[in-house]
Chain A
Amino acid sequence: MTADLGYGMTIVALGLALYGGVSAGVGARTGRLALIESAQHAALGVFVLVTSCFALLTYAFLTFDFSVRYVATNTNLGTPFYYRITGVWGALEGSIILWSWMLALYTVILIVRHRVGARELYPWALATMLGILAFFLLVMTVAAPPFQRQVPVPADGRGLNPLLEDTGMITHPVALYLGFTGLTVPFAFAMAALITGRVGDTWLVLTRRWTIVAWYFLSLGLLIGGWWSYHVLGWGGYWAWDPVENAAFMPWLTATAFLHSVMIQERRRMLRLWNISLVILTFGLTLFGTFLTRSGVIASVHAFTQGSIGILFLSFLALVLLTALGLVAWRWEALRSEGELDSVLSRESAFLLNNVLLVAAAFTVFFGTVFPLLSEAARGVKVSVGAPFFNQINVPLFLSLVFLMGVGPLIAWRRASLDNLKRNFLWPVALGILAAALAFALGVRSLLAALTFATTVFVAVTIAVDFTRATRARLRVGESLLPAMGGLLVRHNRRYGGFVVHLGILIVALGVMGSHAWSVQTETTLHRGETAELAGYRFRFDGLTAVEESNHFKVVGTFTVSNGRVLGVLQPAKKFYPQEQAPIAYVDYRLGLREDIYLVLGDFARDGSQATIKLQVNRLVSWIWIGGVVLTLGALLAILPERHKSA
């Protein structure tokens, strides 16, 4: 009954979405408002139906309804309560429902926000959103139906993939998908702009906040993914340049580029073609990302499955790219810019270079990701490129980008005079060089570390210079200190939100650098009572215990950690799930500001007399998460509604 009801609702939703898309399009073309309103109602109907599907599926999960195949595959009688909820989006079909639901939600918000203010663009944007929503509903109906019946009904389900039984499982996909689907809206408005020919600033201004919000969620999703990888997967790292990680990173890179280049279009009316292309590229990359995760075309840690779904996604990607680029070709004349770059030393130049570097990084990641396909197609040999490829090329690009973070906000528009350069950058450059020298004096020999220190100090000082100068200006007018500073943040929240985001990135950069340059690890086998040593810490193996949990069996190793005095006890474990062929490692760790202690249990003797462990002391990793929090605060500040700017 559940399965049939769910399936029925999906089909109706698909029909409504198709109808709505066509209706909005025709209404836009002919100017008949009644059709547009009808499309709005259809969109609302879709939202209600998809929400109901979601609720129905969750209900099936909570009541152990194994007659629904998706429930049987992803849960069993032992799955804890909250994981029965998060398990709803734990595999392919559920992930499509989640995506569709978010698209439907965003469509409704779009209707509420822009129905009145954007007469020309709104109907076409609505049509585009509904069209894309219809595609995902089509996938839900044809390729990945969540409501398929399981016959015969099994007595017990298979269970959730144990790696997904984690708090990260609640937040990571949700944040990531909010980001991906959020990027659909700027694309929809870009299409509307191209179709109506209004390729000026209107569509940009409308989508500015959407872009920041989507970008923020994408950043959050990536950071949580890194955190999840770090504390669950047991390899002591947070980023592996895995194809699916890359698939999420590429749109982030181009979205970041877009966030910056819109500022140029707003100020100087330049880069129209570039901006439209960036939006199309970003949306294309999000589709590519979902294609990659679900088609099985490239082997990856995360890959969901193979089958007809890949062909569907590729076809849709082709349709979207060809249509969008066709529209660009059609509106080519209108997209030619009015302004042009005056000088290499200018804010426009800095922003353009920022964009070029970000797109170059995105291209590198793309190239490395599809390289196995390329090599097989070209030479019949299956070759993949590993992490060193990505790191080697991207590190210089990212370091340059960090440097630009300091240059961009301060350098003058149009043409920076020598005087302007001196005034803004003398102190930052001097202190940056000093920082590198200081690091060298303190024993740092890695070139990468020195450069990172230099650039981060450089950027931090530029931010301080700007903030101090602006505060002083207000103090001169008679304001007192704290209100002056607060007032700056609130009245120029876009600018200072951006600064805070940049600060967050600086902290993340330092964390990444520290973890790469200074982390140490070792592997060893210990008898009970024996101690291993690493980086000043001592680990004593105290013994093994076996524990039976509701849906798995685990062996826990107890280790006492000390560095002169006892710090605590770490208990890494190996979990054995009946439905898994190999045990899952459960890492234990102690986080710290300077360094993390990280312990993985490997092989062990059945009688508990000895255990093989991998020890890591990871440096500055916590800074990555702290930088993420700062980034969050900055994004929130930037999203605040704009107050009336004072003179």
Chain B
Amino acid sequence: MKRLWRWLIPLAAVPVLALLAYGFRVSPRDIPSPLVGRPAPGFALATLEGAPLDLAVHGGKVVVVNFWASWCYPACYEEAPVLERNWRGYRERGVVVVGVDIQDKREAALKFVGDFGLTFPVAQDLKGTVSVDYGVYGVPETFFVDRRGQIRLKHVGAVTDEVFKATVDRLLAEPASP
């Protein structure tokens, strides 16, 4: 074999490596949610303090519905401060953050809320109907609902500041009625 051709041998590995790298761009678990672009299912729950929590009350606002559980390590623990921080930053601007706790014990939920100092409304989905309505199959999952009540984004996994801000800013810029 001529002297230089042999150096093509290492290059043989490149296509395979490129293919694997491509794998990072697509998530195998991305099953598109059929709910995006459709009206957010309504619910009427009671918060941990006993106050009513009804989605319909918040019409006209951007609503962030976050499904979580106290046993969901580490993602729910990572995103709790993010949600609280952004709730405090955006609440005066017509944004509501709502937490829906699923398959959890009340004491564990209260402890979680207390530990993180969460001040946004949090309710337990005791019957499990809300998580079914939203097609939730894991925690945490966060749904961003626009001012017209349509689900615009479903975020699977811990929410970050970037995702929160970018999505909410975009939705806030839209008008409340068509």
A372 within 8 A of B: yes
Chain A residues with CB under 8 A of B24: 295, 297, 310-311, 314
B178 within 8 A of A: no
Q: How far is the CA of A138 from the CA of B29 in the complex (A)?
A: 28
Q: How far is the CA of A72 from the CA of B116 in the complex (A)?
A: 17
Q: How far is the CA of A299 from the CA of B28 in the complex (A)?
A: 6
Answer whether A155 and B111 are a contact pair too, CB < 8 Å, given A72-B73, A299-B29: yes
B49 within 8 A of A: no
A325 and B23: CB pair below 8 A? no
A370 within 8 A of B: yes
Name the distance in Å between B34's Cβ and chain A's nearest Cβ: 16
Q: How far is the CA of A152 from the CA of B27 in the complex (A)?
A: 31
Mark out the residues of chain A between 313 and 333 whose CB falls within 8 Å of any chain B CB in the assembled complex. 314, 317-318, 321-322, 325-326, 328-329, 332
Chain A residues with CB under 8 A of B12: 325
Q: What per-residue 1/0 map shows which CB atoms of A231-257 lie under 8 Å from chain B?
A: 000000000000000000000000000
A370 and B19: CB pair below 8 A? yes
B9 and A329: CB pair below 8 A? yes
Name the distance in Å between A557's Cβ and chain B's nearest Cβ: 24
Chain A residues with CB under 8 A of B27: 296, 306
Interface residue range, chain A: 35 or more
Answer whether A377 and B6 are a contact pair too, CB < 8 Å, given A299-B29, A321-B13, A325-B13: no
Chain B residues with CB under 8 A of A372: 28
Mark out the residues of chain A between 503 and 530 whose CB falls within 8 Å of any chain B CB in the assembled complex. none
Q: Which of A73, A152, A328, A374 contacts B19 (CB 8 A)?
A: A374
B13 and A328: CB pair below 8 A? no
Q: How far is the CA of A317 from the CA of B13 in the complex (A)?
A: 10
B57 within 8 A of A: no
B13 and A318: CB pair below 8 A? yes
Q: How far is the CA of A443 from the CA of B10 in the complex (A)?
A: 54
A314 and B21: CB pair below 8 A? yes
Chain A residues with CB under 8 A of B71: 158, 578-579
Name the distance in Å between B37's Cβ and chain A's nearest Cβ: 21
Mark out the residues of chain A between 152 and 184 whose CB falls within 8 Å of any chain B CB in the assembled complex. 152, 154-155, 158
A581 within 8 A of B: yes
Grouping DSSP codes into helix (H, G, I), strand (E, B) and loop, the A interface class, with mixed when no group exceeds half, is helix
Q: How far is the CA of A317 from the CA of B16 in the complex (A)?
A: 11
B26 and A314: CB pair below 8 A? no
Q: Which residue of B lies closest to A322 (CB)?
A: B10
Q: Which residue of A lies closest to B103 (CB)?
A: A581
Q: How far is the CA of A296 from the CA of B27 in the complex (A)?
A: 8
Q: How far is the CA of A291 from the CA of B23 in the complex (A)?
A: 12
Name the distance in Å between B90's Cβ and chain A's nearest Cβ: 25
B166 within 8 A of A: no
B1 within 8 A of A: yes
Q: Which residue of B lies closest to A374 (CB)?
A: B19
A120 within 8 A of B: no
Answer whether A314 and B20 are a contact pair too, CB < 8 Å, given A155-B111, A296-B28: yes
Q: How far is the CA of A344 from the CA of B105 in the complex (A)?
A: 71
Q: What per-residue 1/0 map shows which CB atoms of B42-72 lie under 8 Å from chain A?
A: 0000000000000000000000000000010
A77 within 8 A of B: no
Q: A321-B10, A376-B22 are in contact. List 13 more A-B contacts (CB 8 A).
A: A69-B74, A72-B73, A152-B116, A297-B20, A299-B28, A306-B27, A314-B17, A318-B17, A325-B12, A328-B9, A370-B20, A376-B26, A382-B28
List 7 A–B pairs whose Cβ atoms lie within 8 Å, in order of A's numbering. A298-B23, A314-B21, A314-B24, A325-B10, A325-B12, A325-B13, A578-B105
Give residues in B with beta carbon < 8 Å to A.
1, 6-10, 12-13, 17, 19-24, 26-29, 71, 73-74, 77, 103, 105, 111, 115-116, 138
